Amino acid sequence: MAPAPSRRRTRTRGLSARAIASVSTLLTTALTTTLALVAISTSPAQAAVDEPPRPAFYETPATLPSANGTLIRSEKMTFLLDPLDATSLVRNAQRVLYKTTNRSGKAIAVSGTVLVPNAPWIGLGSRPVIGYSPGTQGMADRCAPSRQFSEGIEYEGIGIEALLLRGYAVAMPDYEGLGTVGIHTYMDRVSQGRATLDVVRAAQRLSGTGLSTTSPVGLMGYSQGGGAAAAAVELASTYAPDLRVKGAVVGAVPADLTKVATNLDGGLYSSFAFFALRGLAASYDVDLTPYLNATGRATSDRVETECVFDLLNNAFVKSSTLSYNGQPMSTLMAAEPFRSIVEAQRIGTIKPTVPVLVTHSALDDVIPYAVGKQMARSWCGKGANVRLSTNVAPLHVGGLVPHVAESLPFFEARFAGIPQLSNCWLI
């Protein structure tokens, strides 16, 4: 395959009313902020240029450690759950740079965030740490959660506050190429899963947190993060057997990219499909130039400079208007090399060895409910302990609220050693 263009990027028991109110308040704040930012981001973006200088913290050193999850550096960070800093839940907020291995086997540095709450851990054993895979942030380095948390505009604060209120520590990756050198390999199953597992390892080795290698671990994510957390729970037993993973909560998982891309084409969230095409082409070293027309090539370059708040830049754009032959992205995905690449991202092919809660809204307008259900069914067929929880929250964004709410009793039970009752017989 031809190389990609080289121009760039060298206990409380039960669900508390306080937690529910906090989640709802943060969701309102995040949605308001998102809509406001989207409203001011509709002007055409400039053509992609060489990546702007990033903060020195995010630069990869000349030599990387040998062990995955090894800390390269860390620094104290300002952590704002919202622009007004209405709450103060964290006594230790640090930005981290750590070593992981991407899909192709290359050692890389990835950035992330580690948060330890003020509240003491009152449960049995040591404080648990949640490997929290973020949802879609965008492609540009400025979109990295470890940067946006300091600006109070990171929507994942919705789920994180609820976990911190429970006394859990949170470790969140930025993923490959998001914040650090290189193109963000958006939707690369293996790279995202490994980055999630390795940020937990890094958190456990970070001094001053009270965490250790014996800390129990949970995995959690929604949307892109649901895919990353689902990949992580599939990979955990072989890639990170040292982690004491007790369970995973995965929501609105894009387990079948072909069906997801078809659903997104020409809709409000078309950018997500363009992110995936660009990110996977970078991961697999595919030159997109022959497959796109001039507008398509400009769009492919531009999305590298965009964050999720810029999604209106590509809203309702049909992929057929960007391809070299006027065919939609679904046709492109049906031909090699894309067919094999997309198939390699399918989630549900590896049995998780710990309990998994799958949440999905039947009204999801981004990730079809049938995609999440089929993934759960596939895991069940392999003998995994799976519980599928269907809700009717409005649309994709709304599904995040029940996802977060259900994660709290799930993790409390798993960390207490209570088994999950599977409902595979109903799926």
pLDDT value of position 189: 98
Question: Does 42 have pLDDT greater than 80?
Answer: no
Residue 64 lies in a domain: yes
Mean pLDDT within 315-336: 92
Mean of the pLDDT values across residues 402-423? 97
The pTM of this model reads 0.88
Distance CA 422, CA 424 (A): 6
pLDDT of residue 82: 64
The mean pLDDT value for 339-344 works out to 96
| Number of domains observed in the structure of the chain | 1
Structural domain contains residue 127: yes
Does a structural domain hold residue 195? yes
pLDDT at 34 over 50: no
DSSP code at position 138? B
On whether residue 12 sits in a domain, the answer given is no
pLDDT of residue 2: 35
pLDDT class of 18 with cuts at 50, 70, 90: very low
Tens digit of each residue's pLDDT (9 = 90 or more) over 48-70: 446 678 899 999 999 999 999 99
- Answer yes or no: are the C-beta atoms of 99 and 205 closer than 8 Å: no
Give residue-wise pLDDT tens across range 95-134: 999 999 999 999 999 999 999 998 788 888 899 999 999 9
Cβ atoms of 262 and 234 within 8 Å: the answer is no
Q: Is 272 helix (H, G, I), strand (E, B) or coil?
A: helix
pLDDT > 60? residue 15: no
Q: How confident is the model at residue 7 (pLDDT cuts 50, 70, 90)?
A: very low
The answer, yes or no, to whether residue 11 has pLDDT greater than 50, is: no
**C-alpha radius of gyration, the chain, whole number:** 20
Output the CA–CA distances (angstroms, integers) from residue 177 to 67, 102, 173, 289, 413, in the order listed. Answer: 19, 10, 11, 21, 35
Amino acid at 405: A
Q: Among all chains, which residue has been given the structure tokens 């290359």?
A: 106
Residue-level pLDDT at 6: 35
Residue 224 lies in a domain: yes
CA distance 328 to 309: 25
In a domain, 58, yes or no: yes
Supply the mean pLDDT for the chain.
Answer: 88
Could you tell me the residue range of the domain that residue 212 belongs to?
Answer: 17-244
Tokens at residue 291, please?
């497959």
Question: What pLDDT sits at residue 86?
Answer: 58
What CATH number is attached to the domain comprising 202?
A: 3.40.50.1820
Q: Is residue 183 included in any domain, yes or no?
A: yes
Residues 231-252, mean pLDDT to the nearest whole number: 98
Cis peptide before 368 (omega within 30 of 0): no
User: Could you tell me where the DSSP H helices lie in 166-267?
Assistant: 189-204, 224-239, 257-264
pLDDT at 1 over 70: no
pLDDT of amino acid 190: 98
Q: Is the pLDDT of residue 5 over 50?
A: no
pLDDT band at 85 (very low <50, low <70, confident <90, very high): low
Q: Is there a domain that residue 207 lies in? A: yes
- Which span out of 41-50, 54-63, 75-84 was modeled with the highest average pLDDT? 54-63
* Residues 258-304: tens digit of each pLDDT: 999 999 999 999 999 999 999 999 999 999 999 999 999 999 999 99
* pLDDT over 80 at 215, yes or no: yes
Q: How far is CA 8 from CA 28, 50, 52, 143, 287, in A?
A: 37, 5, 10, 17, 14
Nearest-angstrom CA–CA distance, 257 and 273 = 9
Q: Which range is least confidently modeled, 30-44, 127-141, 240-254?
A: 30-44
| Residue 172 in this model has a pLDDT that exceeds 50 | yes
Which contacts of 368-373 are long-range, i.e. CB under 8 A and separated by 24 or more positions?
368/259, 368/260, 368/263, 370/259, 371/253, 371/254, 371/255, 371/256, 371/259, 371/260, 372/252, 372/253, 372/255, 373/427
Residue 197 above 50 pLDDT? yes
- Report residue 389's pLDDT band, with 50, 70 and 90 as the boundaries: very high
Q: Is 153 a residue whose pLDDT tops 90? A: no
